[in-house]
Amino acid sequence: MTRSATRKIVKGVTIGTAFAALCLVVLLFLAIRGVWDVKEYSFPTKQEATAAEFFEKGWLPEFIPESSTNIRVKRNIDINTSEGGFAFDPKDAEPFVSTLEQKNTNECRLGQPENYTELRSKGYISIDCSHGDTVWRFMIHKELGDCRYTSSMFKY
């Protein structure tokens, strides 16, 4: 192998290594900067979530029961998804479920929640619905007054 051929190989390896290092630095910067932006929120009551404009922004549907407490929201702002849950007075279960069934689309584009099978085995029912630009999957335990949800917002 000639000396110039060796230099070209070394130069190619050096450029390739430098490019790989640059890509790694960019990915680390984006990760630290928060390009995968997940935010978590909690509200003791529906009134406090209302004051924070979570319903107005479409991050929670306004038709959750008035008695909702311990509201948890985990939003992935980059891909417009949300998951969370809340407690509610079990006496509000039937009106809540009835409202959801009226909005049921039967064509939810959401995948199954990670613990879907487990929740079903514990007595939770699953209802999919859409509201505005958002599709929701609610997992509800009527007797316990517990709701878990996932959602995805689709802007057209």
93-146 tens-digit pLDDT: 999 999 988 877 655 555 666 677 888 899 999 888 877 778 888 999 999 999
Q: Is the pTM of this model over 0.75?
A: no
Per-residue pLDDT, averaged over 68-97, amounts to 93
| C-alpha closest to that of 102 among 68, 128, 134, 141 | 128
